[in-house]
Each structure stands twice: as C-alpha cells, then as structure tokens.
Amino acid sequence: MPKLSQFVTIITEGDTTDGREVTAQMIEEAAETYNPDTYTARINIEHIRSFLPSSEFKRYGDVKAVRVGEKMIFGQKKKTLEAQMLCDDPMVEMATKDRQKIFFSAEMWPNFAKTGKFYLSGLAMTDEPASLGTEVLKFASTAKVNPFSSRKSDPSTLIVAANESETLEFKDVTEEKTPETPNFVQDLLTGMAGFFKAAEKAPEPKPEVKPATTETFDPQKFAQELTTGMAKTFGDLMNKQAEAVNNLQTSVNKVTKDFNDMKEKLDKQPAGSQRAPASGAETTHEKTDC
C-alpha cells in the first residue's frame, strides 16, 4: 500500500538545466495550478520513463499536493515549491533502507493547457546533490545540444536543478469508509429471528465464566419497536394508495368536465337549413315523339 510523505522541497528559485531561471512567479503558478485530478505528476528515476512495469525505470509514486514555501539561501529568502507524495513500497525502501535516489529534480510545463501558467508535470529521484548538479547545469546551459533533451516529455519542459530534500517520513494511507445506510427491513428480520431463537428451549447450561456484562432480550421493547415499524410501513402504504385514488379522481373529473363542455358547445350551435331542390336550366328545344 502506498505511503504518504511529509511536504519536502522539490524546487528552489534558481537555474534550470537549460539556463532559464526559475522565478518566484513560476513557483507560485505551479502551486496554484497543480491538481492531480487534472494531471498527476508521477515520480520516476533520473527523468527516464519506461513503458514496462517491471523495469527499473517504472513509476514509483505520485505527487499528491504542492504548496509554496520559503528558505534562506546564502542569507537571501527564496521561494520554494514543496510537495507531498504518495510513495510506492520500492521508493520507500530506496529512500529509507538503501539511501539511494534521495534528491529530487522537478519537471515543469510552461503554458499548461494554454493557461499561460507553469504546471508541475513530473518529479525525478536522483543521486546528484546540488554541488555536483552545479557542474552539470553549467555544461547544460552552454552546450549546443542539451544533454537532458532526450529525457524531456516535451521540448518546452523545464528540468529543474536537483534539490537535497529533508529526510523523508512516511505514514500509512487510510481509506475513508462510507457509512452504511440503515435498513429497516433487515433490522426487523434480524430482531424477529432473535426473538424466536430466544423463545426456543435452551439446553441445560454448562458451567462457564459469565462475561462482565450481559445483554438480555426485552420482549416488551421488541414488541413496541415491531409495532411502531409495522404501523409506519402500513401508514406509508395507505398514504400512497390515497394519493393514487386522488390522482385518478382528478383525471376522471377533468375528462367529465371536458365532455360536458363539448356537449354544451354542440347543443348551442343552430340546426342546419335544408337545401332547395335544383330547378335546372330552362330550354327551348321542342320535344320529339319517338
């Protein structure tokens, strides 16, 4: 089961591997935008990502939350980005038992999702402390080909100088249990089963040590609870039936009213007049006796 770490520093104001300066604003934006539900920054080794779960370069955990902190660096107050991590067992063993990969180097995306703000996209474990990392930074910032380019998930990604972190401390992650919904029917059946079981003739008891406290069955209390529960159930049923009858009566009344209104309207219309018989056109032709 993953273990939850305390907040540790992963970024301090300073240079990155490509010479771009990490500013206080970038740190504040990373703390403001980070949301593991939007995009989770996963933990890797040396910024190398394998597709195989059995590889040494698999993922070792996730960044759960980040916040802005401060540190005194050579007498100057610097902004820091602190992270709380969900660490898998291999990472915990590496950090506590083997004392390997105990420094952190963060990865940040500029203009994440076209917001114009920086976002923490990944976190690498490394063995390079700040003193050795300075030489690597100096070379990377002046080299024609950045030696970290092949390890970036995106060409615009910033890989920040490794920070020596505090000693990691872990605690178990506890799952929140959802409270169970009361079930009246189940409780009623359980109570009835207990009632009939208690009514059965019990065998001769064997001598045994009695517990400090015993809970006895109260028939009167059970009968009262049973009566109350059944009365409520039947009452709800009768209310629903009454509501259905009222709805039906309302529908019948509406249909009857519509029918009466239509009949009254038809009765008020005048009776139609009889059409005069056709007279035909006059002719001047003489009749012929055939």
Greater confidence (82 vs 188) lies with: 82
pLDDT score, position 36: 94
pLDDT-derived band at 220 (thresholds 50, 70, 90) equals confident
Q: Which candidate in 5, 15, 37, 47 is catalytic? A: 47
Per-residue burial over 37-76, b if 16 or more Cβ lie within 10 Å, else e, is eebbbbbbbebebeeeeeeeebbbbbbbebeebeeeeeee
pLDDT score, position 132: 32
Q: How deeply is 4 buried, as exposed, middle or buried, from its count of CB atoms within 10 A (0-12, 13-18, 19+)?
A: middle
Greater confidence (268 vs 80) lies with: 80
pLDDT greater than 90 at residue 16: no
Q: Is there a catalytic annotation at residue 18?
A: yes
Q: Which candidate in 15, 18, 62, 165 is catalytic? A: 18
pLDDT greater than 90 at residue 41: yes
pLDDT score, position 74: 84
Greater confidence (242 vs 147) lies with: 242
What share of the chain has pLDDT > 90, as a percent? Answer: 15
pLDDT-derived band at 182 (thresholds 50, 70, 90) equals low
pLDDT-derived band at 137 (thresholds 50, 70, 90) equals very low
DSSP alpha helix (H) spans, the chain:
24-33, 89-93, 130-142, 184-199, 219-267
Q: Regarding beta strands 76-87 and 61-73, do their DSSP bridges make them parallel or antiparallel, or are they unpaired?
A: antiparallel
Q: How many CB atoms lie within 10 A of CB 19?
A: 13
pLDDT score, position 40: 92
pLDDT score, position 29: 95
What share of the chain has pLDDT > 70, as a percent? Answer: 61
pLDDT greater than 80 at residue 116: yes
**Taking a C-beta distance cutoff of 8 angstroms, is the pair 94, 72 a contact?**
no
Q: Regarding beta strands 119-126 and 42-45, do their DSSP bridges make them parallel or antiparallel, or are they unpaired?
A: parallel
pTM: 0.48
Q: Which of 13-27, 40-54, 72-86 has the lowest mean pLDDT?
A: 13-27
Q: Is there a catalytic annotation at residue 154?
A: no
Q: What is the mean pLDDT of the chain?
A: 75
pLDDT greater than 90 at residue 38: yes
pLDDT greater than 50 at residue 130: no
Rounded average pLDDT over 25-46:
93
Report the alpha-carbon distance of residue 156 to residue 194 in Å, rounded.
70
For residue 182, give the H/E element and its range: none
pLDDT score, position 39: 94
Q: Which candidate in 54, 62, 89, 105 is catalytic? A: 105
pLDDT score, position 143: 42
Rounded average pLDDT over 147-158:
55
Question: What tens digit of pLDDT does each residue of 56-85 get?
Answer: 888 889 999 999 999 888 888 989 999 998
Q: Is there a catalytic annotation at residue 105?
A: yes
Torsion of CA 241, 243, 247, 249, to 10 degrees: 70
Domain residue ranges in the chain: 3-172, 185-191+219-255
| Dihedral (CA of 107, 119, 86, 134) sign | positive
